[in-house]
Structure 1
Amino acid sequence: MSPRDTALAYISANEPRFSEFCQRIWSHAEPAWREYKSARDYVELLRAEGFSVEAGSGGMPTAFVASWGSGKPVLAGFSEYDAVPGNSQQVVPYPAPREGVHPYAAGHTDPHSVLGTASLVAMLGAKAAMQQHGIAGTLKLFGEPAEKVCGSKPVHAAKGYYNDLDAAVVWHPWPSNTVTSDTQFGAYWSCVITFEAADPENWIDPTLVPIEGAHAQARCPGALDAMCLMYTTTKYTKEAMFPHAGSWTLNEFVLGDGGATSDNLAPRFAQIQYSWRASSLGIQEQIWRVLANNARHAAASTGCRAFVRWVTKTRVGLPNQVMTDLTWKNLQAVGAPAYDEAALEFGRDIQRNLGLAPMEDPFIPTASRLMPPEENEARLRAGLPAWQKHLSADDYVEFCWHAPTVRLLAARPRLRPPTPGFAYPNWAYLALGGLPGAVDPGMFVAARTMALTYVDLATQPETLAAAQAEFRERSGIGTPAWVPPLLPADFDPPVDLRWPEYVTTARGEEWCIPTPHAGTGAGETL
């Protein structure tokens, strides 16, 4: 039996075990930076499989680095496992948030339960092959929390965790089965801007209106007004951030603290998070300059001080055609996913419950066929200007500047629309993401393809050398053209910010607001 056959045999023998593991991560449904149970399950399993594991890597309690083997090459992958607030859903063909928690609690969307499990299985399949056949090399699986805010990979990169890698093989659930080629993903930056009314009593001279009692005085506008002014000013100035060319987005979210009061007191503390993605670092910088200026003016107008706390800064992706060709060859060897009748009937049940005629095959056709990388590339570029080389954002791009990296895509089926432009409700997408019959086929296609790619990289030194030569040329590593990590090496991961999490109270599981590391947790003065 060849090393490739050994890797595939390991995966086939362990499919039921890892299908159950995937369901366990799905059921945890833990949001960004709060994946305590999920990270624990990965760490325990990997240690039982003979990996040495650094838990809490990079100062992130729910991150880890698991290593097995010794020497070169050092081959890497990553597991993600965070869920998304507001996307709770049971695995049923009708709308039903999970019972026992708030209806807008977290749920898996892409889902990362599948993404993380396939990466784990691929790594264990490669380990089985390397161990049985005496193949030299080191396997590293990174546990990467908070992907939905692109949180951990820039931290691992900044702190040197990727510096010794020889290649990285990563993937993402997708509507099709293919490999990313020239057009890679762009940059994602995010920060929390805090407004604090430190001395609202000095907003007016109280002697001017000799009325006793603070509640009768004109109050300082305070932090809430500052935040609202920031929000509206940014809406006005968004038109001036960058021309309407290419694709870039800016999103915001207000972090609440339940600090409402009926007293005539100034709101003391308010926070708004901004996240923006673009195809170049220059565009990202331009957007930040406008945001920072808006924050300073909003603070000055409302008797506040403004602070910034960075959540993340990613670079942009780099292609590697050698890695793309190798992984595409392995995807062809594995083949496309196939779905059993039970999964198809679940899809039909969703259609029936929506008043639609059930289809013989309710899943989109790209879920069950292979798409050549050049076809996927053409689809991505169809709506892009020629000058734009990156699209959307994903933090796998951090690996691209430290080692040749490939990004595999494998199917996570969606429902076939009955008419062009028809949009299924979000709950239907979420329910399918938790159905083993719908997600396991693509998950194990991804695991097999990545495992074969690891084995090839460990046993074909000429292929790895060609990938690394291309990487050196494209990245400019060792020259001024190389883009280093955008976060400092001493970056303090924002795990103490007001990310929602589950806590146990007398009422059951609830959301709560954590305590910051120090002071208010507001960050640097703007």
Structure 2
Amino acid sequence: MKNPMPLSNAQSSALAVVDSRQAELSDWCATIFNFAEPAWREYRSAEWYVKRLRAEGFSVEEGSGGMPTAFCAEWSNGAGPVIGMYAEYDAVPGNCQAASTRREPREGLGFQAGGHTDPHSGLGIATLGGLLAAKAAMEKHGIKGGLRYTGEPAEKVRGSKPIHAAKGYYDGLAAMLSFHPFYMLPMCNTVRWDTHCGAAYAMVYRFICDAPEGWGSSDGAPIPQSHSAVRAPGANDALMTMYQSSKALREAMLPHQGGWSVSEAILTAGQATADNLPAGLAEIQYMMRVPTVAMAEQITAVLDRNAAASAAMTGCRWERHWVSKSRPGLANHAMANVVWGALQQVGAPVWDEAAKGVARDIQRNLGMVPMEEPFINALTQLVEPQQAEAILRRDLPPSQLNSTSDDYTDMTWHTPTARFYIARPALKAPETGAYPPWVMNALGGIPATIDPMVQTAAKVLACVAIRLLEDEGARDAAMEEFQTRTGGGIGGTTWQPPLCDYDPPIHFRWPEYINTPRGQDWWIPSAVPDA
């Protein structure tokens, strides 16, 4: 690829802003890391972003798209193109980890509470840093145009972006910038080229046993309506039958390569207060990650049949409620080239001796001999997009166009979009075994180790935003490619419309923090007991 264009004065100003706000970004990242709120329940995190954005001069719509923890912020410096960015801030149940070099939950909680894994805490603050730096440079250099910044809850279940897309929040943008911390090689300090993430469906199957007496006959019971009378097995049995029968999908329908997966999570198992009565309610969520929508539809049909059979066997009725229906991603080489140029200008993250000391302390606490260079070499190297693409394609069938999963893909059908990755801290493999998951989670919360990623990503985002605002030719090339790939843009002959035909799934019993007479706890009890 060509050498990057030299930095403009406005881009240089944006980079200086990121440097000047380094301490703030670090503090903000730690704040969101400690909130660690899971999907659809990111109340404090969303409130924090809304307050911060308003203080920075943005107008903010709270609860955008009917999602209480979503938002849409906008700022304009006059008529002109509008560039989009976004924050994610949801955490993952069962991953509570302090910003510490040993395994320990955050204060007052147990390990089953929420914690940041990717980490979305760093993702969101990096994009906020890039947004604010771009705004400052636009003001200083009189660059016309605007910025739109959406708050995207529930990314772990691909929740908000299909809804925002269907409701038009990405329409009218000149471009969208999508950043994610690196999570697999070779997608580290690079930009996606052709093979973007695939489709994904997620749904909750609900089993209700509201007439257990009608399942069988109680004739012959020694005492009428006694506990020994025939009655329906109930919703718990329906859920377990569904769980067991659907596991066959992994062998019957899914290949062992290509990034296909079907996973499940039990949300609710509503049992009566007496153990000898049938459970009236049980819910299980399924998430499928596949290359195409047709594959998702095929798997859904099998899951529906399994749900119907499970309900019939256990005296229940069943319902399917959508959590997500998202499209596979659409490439845009023009956008990828602009981001790659910015990556070359900014460079890869660098971890200093303080960060290495943190890493060595983790290794020491795991009983390892600390390494002189504990971080993997790839973290400080750039990978050309075409080279990363070639490595990624080695394990994929030629006919497979999309792989792995992330819901930024819905944005790609509404505006030219670039998806890029900046290295997050990751340790070199030990001689035997592997690091426990808490290590990555901790590295994502300790300022010395996560700040280099945040700073680098913020600079790349700011550079790209300013380049697109200043360079009409770059914008036109990206939009022309978008028009070509969609057969005429939104509504074009090869454009895929939003799949979202459901309301935000905010009313389920998603894991969350609760306040009790004992203080704050997790809805799965996780508070540290009194000594």
TM-score bracket for the superposition, by shorter chain length: over 0.9
1:446 maps to 2:457: yes
Please give the alpha-carbon distance, in whole angstroms, between the structure 2 residues aligned to 1:263 and 1:354. 43
Letter in 1 for 2:173: L
What displacement does 1:206 show?
Answer: 3.0
1:360 equivalent to 2:372? Answer yes
Contact 2:217/2:230, CA 8 A, preserved across alignment:
no
2:108 and 2:271 mapped to 1: Cα distance?
25
Task: Report the residue type matching 1:486 in the other structure.
Answer: L
Q: 1:359 to 1:508 in 2, by over 3 A?
A: same
| Selected match of 2:496 from 469, 479, 483 | 483
Query: Is contact 2:218–2:224 with CA below 8 Å preserved after alignment?
Result: no
1:140-159 paired onto structure 2 within 5 Å: 140-159=148-167
Match of 1:168 among 160, 163, 176: 176
* Preserved CA contact (<8 Å) 2:271 2:278: no
Q: Give the AA of the match of 1:46.
A: L
From 57, 66, 71, the counterpart of 2:79: 71
Equivalent of residue 437 in structure 1, options 440, 448, 454: 448
Determine the C-alpha separation between the residues in 2 that align with 1:22 and 1:190. Answer: 29
Q: Which residue of 2 aligns with 1:4?
A: 11
1:96 aligns with 2:109: no
- 1:110 maps onto 2:118 in alignment: yes
Q: Does 1:371 align with 2:360?
A: no
- C-alpha distance in 2 between matches for 1:432 and 1:242: 33
Whether the 8 Å contact between 1:6 and 1:129 is mirrored in structure 2 is: yes
Secondary structure, in 3 states, of the residue corresponding to 2:177? strand
Q: Structure 1 residue 210: deviation in Å?
A: 5.2
User: Equivalent residue of 1:271, what SS?
Assistant: strand
1:139 is aligned, of 134, 142, 147, to: 147
Determine which of 113, 121, 126 is the counterpart of 2:129: 121
Q: Determine if contact 1:364/1:414 at 8 Å carries over to the other structure.
A: yes
How far 1:301 moved relative to its partner?
Answer: 1.4
1:332 and 2:339 aligned:
no
Matches within 5 A, 1:205-244: 205-209=217-221, 211-242=223-254
Residues 335-364 of structure 1 deviation map (CA, whole Å, 9 limit, x = unaligned): 111111111011111111222221111001
Question: What's the counterpart of residue 524 of structure 1?
Answer: none
- SS of structure 2 residue aligned to 1:328: helix
Q: Is the 8 A contact 2:218 2:231 kept in 1?
A: no
Q: Is 1:460 the equivalent of 2:471?
A: yes
What does residue range 48-67 of structure 1 map to in structure 2 within 5 Å?
A: 48-67=55-74
Alignment pair present for 1:23 and 2:22: no
Counterparts of 1:247 and 1:37 in 2: how far apart (Å)?
34
Q: Which 5+ residue runs of structure 1 have no aligned equivalent?
A: 514-526
Distance 1:331 1:400 in 2: 21
3-state DSSP of counterpart to 1:333: helix
Work out which of the residue numbers 294, 312, 320 in structure 2 matches 1:282. 294
What value does the CA root-mean-square deviation take over the aligned residues? 1.6
Cα deviation code 1:456-493 (max 9, x no counterpart): 111111110000010111123332321101012xx310
Q: 1:363 to 1:245 in 2, by over 3 A?
A: closer
1:375 positional shift: 2.3
**Alignment identity in percent?**
49
Query: Which whole-Å CA distance do the structure 2 matches of 1:196 and 1:284 have between them?
Result: 25
Q: How many residues align?
A: 510
Alignment equivalent of 2:89, drawn from 53, 72, 81: 81
How far apart, CA to CA, are the structure 2 residues paired with 1:335 and 1:177? 9
Instruction: Map residues 254-403 of structure 1 onto 2, 5 A cutoff.
Output: 254-257=266-269, 259=271, 261-403=273-415
For the Cα contact (< 8 Å) 1:242–1:283, is it kept in 2? no
Question: For residues 512 and 87 of structure 1, what CA distance do their matches in structure 2 show?
Answer: 14
Aligned equivalent of 2:436, options 420, 425, 430: 425
**Given the two structures, how large is their TM-score scaled by the length of structure 2?**
0.93
